[in-house]
A and B are shown apart, each in its own frame.
Chain A
Amino acid sequence: MILELKGIYKDYLQGKMVVSVLKDINLSVEEGDYIAIMGPSGSGKTTLMNLIGCLDVPTKGSYLLMGEDISKAGENKMAEIRNQSIGFVFQQFNLLPKLSALDNVALPLLYGGVNKSERRERAKAALEKVGLGDRLDFRPNQLSGGQCQRVAIARAIVGNPKLLLADEPTGALDSKSGEQVMELFQRLNDEGATIVMITHEQEIADYARTLYHIRDGVLQNGSRKGGSDE
């Protein structure tokens, strides 16, 4: 089991009212799995994503990531986990506009304390893997949306994390680029990466092996996709 959520609650204070965004979430993801979590906006899917991504801590419940309970981890420990074990892909790419593609991809390695020549080496390899080996010195504003998202994916995989988290990865892309990005995820999953993806589009969710629906903070049981993938 790569990650295991047990009885997770997340409450927010809205004015004087306590709002429960997540209610009793139980979710286990096996290594090498590819799951999609679908839900309309306001359903709590982003909050769930933040919890899985160690950007946030639950109000109640336990979260085991690779067997380690991190629901009570400190800030620096969480930063280390995000750096070493998790790769993020965001809807808006979140590339740093003043850095080249190569430097953007190398950034997580910098925080991981990898030396300069190895950073370059590995960032280059990651960019080649996403098919952008010829765009190393391009800045984000010189790249198309689909290329930007592939740079972001290279950044997510450069540290060889166990878990890839994608938050609406195709939300800002046209359908053709979106398709390319999804094929890339597919390939990464085939190579053994565990992927957790959030989306509200059925077509995108269809790429995953297991599909979960979340509604009003409650996670419904997953449905395993039948057929050849099984």
Chain B
Amino acid sequence: MLENISLAFQGIWGHKLRSFLTMLGIIIGIASIISIVSTIKGTNDQIKQNLIGAGTNAVKVQLYQGDGIFDVSYNTVPEGVNPISQETKEELEALEEVEKASLYTSRNYAGNVFHKNQAFTGTLLGIDTDYFDVYGYYVQVGRNFTEDDFTSFRKVAIVDRKAMTTLFSGDNPVGKTLEISGEPYLVVGMADQSSQFEPVINDPSDYNLYMNNSSGSVFIPGTTWPIVFQYDEPQTVALKASGTDAMTNAGKKAADILTEKLSASSDLKMSYKSEDLLEQAKQLQELSTSTNQQLIWIASISLLVGGIGVMNIMLVSVTERTSEIGLKKAIGARKSRILIQFLTEAAVLTSLGGLVGVGAGIVMAKVVSGVAGTPVAISAPATIIAVAFSMVIGLIFGLIPAVKASNLNPIEALRRE
């Protein structure tokens, strides 16, 4: 077998131009498929990353009324929805999929936060000590909240990098004062998420999808929340899942536990639900995959054409080498041997084409990505499958020439010189 392969290489090398032209169809076909697959994978990776974020694996579990998120800004605190107890929190953290849980209250588009005359349109959050840990925040300037801030109900605040930009025009916010619902809050720190993750925005719809938090966040100790809002507002639970793949289950299990506690005390149509980012990502990925998959079929046609080209050249090669085949048969080569020799040649030819095609495809994908800005990720399994597939093409389209060669009558074959 090894000998056959090395003979095949000699044959291919002996007819460089012809071999290259023969491989061209396969090269183009494989290259297009690889670049399409790379684009699909790149887009999918990007969607996942955009939604799931910088790998903090955080899952939000929120209170729902019917099918909608219960928004406390337009409602009073509902009867029977009790604050989540420390025991429940520990129960959540005991889940296999959960590393840490944080309880917080929040207002989106908080309209009552000002620095001097500058209004804030981002999110205001009343957090506990675990929140920064769950979302991967760390304090960059100033200090973090202390135990004392929580227990003494100190009116202190931490802003994130975006809020620093929108509220303080990028100046150091530490020591400045925010007005929240008329109460003065002293800014003690600026926190940032540990990985500088920014969603990749390719078009306006991406912007709406990912950039809902573009004005930043202001954090205050959760214990001071009732000073500016109401007592016992429903909390949102942020879970740090043990891994990206555990996110879905972590969210579901936590939501179940919380809903169970809720139905014991409330007869309202209230429940806790987790936002399933993985599921969301999957749906978006499917959409982008299905549009691109049609392209793969089109590219496959060029593989078919390439295969026919290989068959054509192999048939020519059989005719050219009639006397060689005859001689080999005369000195005792079996039919199967000739068959295998020609099949090997075809398979080596197309595999080589496949390899070159993979290389060309990767280059093509990178170039297209550079020019058009589409995301690209090279898929290792796809390249292996592509090369294996091109080998199979060689075997399929080499079969007819190989059978023809092996069926040559040695007498006829020897007579032709």
A contacts, CB < 8 Å to B: 50, 53, 55-56, 75-76, 79-80, 82-84, 88, 90, 92, 94, 96, 98, 107-108, 110-112, 155
Contact = CB atoms under 8 A, between A and B. Distances in A.
Contacts of A88: 330-331
A108 B332 contact: yes
Contacts of A110: 3
Nearest to B10: A98
Contacts of B337: 111
B332 A79 contact: yes
B330 A82 contact: yes
A79 B327 contact: no
Contacts of A155: 331
A90 B414 contact: yes
A82 B332 CA distance: 5
Given A90-B414, A92-B417, A96-B324, A53 B330 contact: yes
Interface string B317-337: 000000110111111111101
Contact of A83 (B323, B331, B411, B414): B331
Contacts of A80: 332, 334
A38 B411 CA distance: 20
Nearest to B323: A94
A111 B14 contact: no
Contact of B332 (A83, A92, A94, A98): A83
Given A55-B411, A94-B414, A111 B324 contact: no
Given A79-B335, A84-B332, A111-B332, A94 B411 contact: no
The prevalent SS among residues of B at the interface is helix
A81 B412 CA distance: 19
A34 to B, nearest CB: 21
A112 B410 contact: no
Given A80-B332, A83-B333, A90-B414, 15 more contacts: A55-B330, A75-B335, A79-B329, A79-B333, A83-B332, A88-B331, A90-B327, A94-B323, A94-B326, A94-B330, A94-B414, A107-B331, A110-B3, A112-B332, A155-B331
Nearest to B417: A92
Contact of A76 (B323, B326, B334): B334
A206 B134 CA distance: 103
Contact of B411 (A56, A107, A111): A56
Contacts, number: 54
B228 to A, nearest CB: 87
Interface residues of B, number: 20
The prevalent SS among residues of A at the interface is helix
9 contacts: A55-B330, A75-B334, A79-B332, A84-B332, A88-B331, A107-B328, A110-B3, A111-B334, A155-B331
Contacts of B323: 94
Q: Across the A-B interface, give the 10 residue pairs with the lowest CB-CB distance, nearest first.
A: A83-B332, A94-B327, A111-B332, A108-B331, A82-B332, A79-B334, A111-B333, A55-B410, A92-B417, A50-B411
A204 to B, nearest CB: 20
Nearest to A107: B331
A76 B337 CA distance: 11
A162 to B, nearest CB: 14
A112 B410 CA distance: 18
Contacts of B326: 94
Nearest to B329: A79
A75 B327 CA distance: 15
Contacts of A96: 324, 327
Nearest to A156: B331
A13 to B, nearest CB: 14
Interface in B280-315: none
A141 to B, nearest CB: 13
B29 to A, nearest CB: 30
Contact of B331 (A50, A56, A76, A111): A111
A50 B409 CA distance: 11
A80 B336 CA distance: 13
A112 B414 CA distance: 21
